[in-house]
Amino acid sequence: MNNFYKKIFTFGTLMGCHQLPERSFFIKGYQFPVCARCTGVLIGYLAGLVLHTVIGTYLLACTLCCLIMFIDWYLQHLNIKVSTNFRRVITGVLGGYGVIGFYLIVFSFIVNSGEIHFLFV
């Protein structure tokens, strides 16, 4: 394991990811520094920032996206349904979008001196 890989793997640990191999993606024998769900969350953060500049941030959409990720996690936690890495990454993208959307709504509220500038749909 080279030094750069060790550093990014440590970054994943600092982010709070469990980094379980069975819940992670691999490329050329190297495990991603974060699990499938955390990979999706990071992608969702980036997508949320881009979408915010294009279409704005919708409170209802953010709430539903976070709820979908929570339901997938909770069903897995209760051993009702085994989640797959594909489903983890998809629900992670949705959850990441939802979380960054909430951050953007709060940031907008603070910057605009308490004026709410987000869209209800």
pLDDT of residue 47: 96
Closest Cα to residue 68, out of 30, 99, 46?
99
Global pTM?
0.83
Q: In this model, does residue 121 exceed pLDDT 50?
A: no
Average pLDDT over the chain, rounded to whole?
88
* Within-domain flag for 11: no
Q: Is 119 a residue whose pLDDT tops 60?
A: no
Q: Among residues of the chain, what percentage have pLDDT more than 70?
A: 92
Within a domain: 18: no
Within a domain: 30: no
Which alpha helices (H) appear in the chain, and where do they start and end? Answer: 3-14, 36-55, 59-77, 85-111
Q: How far apart are the first and last CA of the chain?
A: 48
| Band of pLDDT at residue 117, cut at 50, 70 and 90 | low
Q: What is the mean pLDDT of residues 98-120?
A: 77
Kindly state whether residue 26 falls inside one of the protein's structural domains. Answer: no
pLDDT for 72 equals: 95
Evaluate whether residue 10 is within a structural domain. no
Neighbours of 62 (CB within 10 A): 23
Does residue 63 fall inside a structural domain?
A: yes
- The torsion defined by the Cα of 88, 47, 18 and 82, in degrees rounded to 10, comes to -10
Domain count for the chain: 1
Domain presence at residue 22: no
Supply the range of the domain harboring residue 75: 36-111
On whether the CB atoms of residues 32 and 13 are closer than 8 A, the answer is no
| Average pLDDT over every residue of 18-47 | 92
At 21, is the pLDDT very low, low, confident or very high (cuts 50, 70, 90)?
confident
